Amino acid sequence: MGKTKWIAALGITTMLFGSVLAGCGGDEKSEQANGGSKQGEKVEVTLAGWGGNPSEQKLLQQTLDDFEKKHPNIKVKYEVIADQYMDVIKTRLAGGQGPDVFYLDAFEAPALIETGALEPLDKYVTDEFDVNDFEKPMLDAFKGEDGKIYGFPKDYSTLALFYNKKMFEEAGIEVPKTWDELREAAKKLTKGKDVYGFGVAPELARLYYIAESKGGKVVTDNKASFADSKVVEALQPIVDMHLKDKTAAQPNEVGATWGGEMFGQGKAAMVIEGNWAIPFLQDTFPNLEFGTAEIPTINGKKATMAYTVAYVMNKDSQKKEAAWELISYLTGKEGMKTWTSKGYALPTRKSVAAELGFDKDPLRAPLVAGAPYATVWQNGTNLPIIVNNFNNQFVSAFLGERPLADALKEAEKTANSEIESR
């Protein structure tokens, strides 16, 4: 009796152990089996990105289908990471389970390149791929300190002034050409707490070009330097519009989540947004009559922001050749043309931009026009830390809790001490 019990116990335990171990090991083995890109065998490449709106997804799917048709031995597995994209990607890369190809925002690029988690792409590039066709600032955003290219920008977006045509007509004013005009226009457009003249996003990603408009620098030598009096002077008007004129508000003050929504709901007569707001407004607020214009000049100089995203390759990828095929198609002339054909984002290749003619589209022309003089949203490996501290303190100044100069001074100190102790 005793003996049989023993054997039974042993049996159960080994079974349990076995299944646990099998569960752990199984994935790795099958992964490796898939990994070897043998000739003739179908290779599966994983591509990770964040989801866009449905029409955008359809475009991407179409581009991927075209690719698979041309490369019958490669299958693309597209994964959408809906929330906290970079956190997920970083964690997966650290765990050795990263996708072969994934989206990377220029803003995050330098820090990720520095860690060595990305594959440099120079050795794959052929003459046919035509690197010089890319807009240079967008391409430079993905160059490492070693001068190598780690990603090819899939598209970009600039900021432009969105204005509500009806409100402008009622107020009888013209679209502002300078920031001083914008401030005056905002006064005329504001109707108490129901309609604000200008909807503003008090964050560095949207204010960077304004902050540097008087000659100050937000980042110097990879450290925060935004407490510079020139930066404070440049940003002060934004704070004044909120506190003194009461003509500007941030979206959450009127119960909106972002500028586009605030503008669409008619709670702001002007906002500064990017490409993405155009399809959003057309879909969500079909009756809204709006126009776009280049951002008003500051000190007679034109300025705007450019945001760009690239396809990059995981250094630990087992299928680099196939991954490159995918990247080169997606950022190549043909793939990029399909992807940007509907104008959700602007093509980073000059030839594609010329072919699609977005510079003639009335809503998108101001956005395209901004590309040559735009500041690319990227600056060194410490920008994420700098932004975090800037945003946190800038809001307190924007809300009138303390003077802007003090807030920025403290934020700069905190950011730099965080950077030094890294």
Partner 1 sequence: MKQTLTKKMWRETGSAYLFLSPALFVLLLFIIGPIVFAVFLAFHKVQLLGTTSFEFVGLDNFARIADDTRAKIALWNTLKYVAIVVPCQTILALVLAATLNAGLKGEKFFRIVYFLPTLTSSAVLTLIFMWMYNQNGLINHVLEAVGLPTYNWLGDPDVALNAIMIMNIWSTAPYFMVIYLAALQDIPDSLYEAAELDGADAWQKFWHVTVPYLRPVTSFVVVMGLIGTFQLFDQSYIFSAGSGGPNNSTLTVVLLIYQYAFKTLGTMGYAAALAFALAIIILIATLLQRKLSKEESLY
Contact residues: partner 1, CB under 8 A: 2, 5-6, 9-10, 12-13, 16-17, 20, 84, 86-87, 90-91, 93-94, 111-112, 114-118, 250, 252-255, 315, 384-385, 388, 391-393, 395-396, 399, 401, 413-414, 417-418, 421-422
Kind and range of the H or E element at 104?
A: strand 101-105
Kind and range of the H or E element at 8?
A: helix 2-35
Minimum separation from the CB atom of position 228 to partner 1 (A): 20
Task: Choose between 324 and 394: whose C-beta lies nearer to partner 1.
Answer: 394
Query: Got the DSSP string for 176-236?
Result: PSBHHHHHHHHHHH-BTTTBEEEE---SHHHHHHHHTTTS--SEETTEE-TTSHHHHHHHH
Task: Choose between 231 and 383: whose C-beta lies nearer to partner 1.
Answer: 383
d(CA 300, CA 83): 40
d(CA 375, CA 303): 7
Minimum separation from the CB atom of position 6 to partner 1 (A): 7
Task: Choose between 374 and 383: whose C-beta lies nearer to partner 1.
Answer: 383
Beta bridge partners of 191: 195
Minimum separation from the CB atom of position 420 to partner 1 (A): 9
**What phi, psi does 244 have (nearest 5°)?**
-90, -55
Q: Is 376 helix (H, G, I), strand (E, B) or coil?
A: strand
Burial group, residue 265, by CB count within 10 angstroms (0-12, 13-18, 19+)? middle
Minimum separation from the CB atom of position 181 to partner 1 (A): 28
d(CA 306, CA 388): 19
Task: Choose between 52 and 144: whose C-beta lies nearer to partner 1.
Answer: 144
Minimum separation from the CB atom of position 326 to partner 1 (A): 21
Task: Choose between 22 and 94: whose C-beta lies nearer to partner 1.
Answer: 94
Minimum separation from the CB atom of position 409 to partner 1 (A): 13
d(CA 271, CA 114): 36
Minimum separation from the CB atom of position 212 to partner 1 (A): 23
Angle 296-298-303 from CA coordinates, rounded to 5°:
70
d(CA 133, CA 137): 12
Task: Choose between 246 and 350: whose C-beta lies nearer to partner 1.
Answer: 246
Both structure tokens of 260: 């586009």
Minimum separation from the CB atom of position 369 to partner 1 (A): 32
Task: Choose between 372 and 400: whose C-beta lies nearer to partner 1.
Answer: 400
Task: Choose between 73 and 388: whose C-beta lies nearer to partner 1.
Answer: 388
Pick left, alpha or beta for residue 407 (phi over 0 → left; psi -120 to 50 → alpha; otherwise beta): alpha
Task: Choose between 13 and 229: whose C-beta lies nearer to partner 1.
Answer: 13
- Answer for the pair 163, 291: CB distance below 8 angstroms, yes or no: yes
Task: Choose between 30 and 115: whose C-beta lies nearer to partner 1.
Answer: 115
Minimum separation from the CB atom of position 37 to partner 1 (A): 23
Minimum separation from the CB atom of position 2 to partner 1 (A): 7
- Answer for the pair 153, 350: CB distance below 8 angstroms, yes or no: no
Instruction: Give the gyration radius of the chain's Cα atoms.
Output: 25
d(CA 93, CA 415): 26
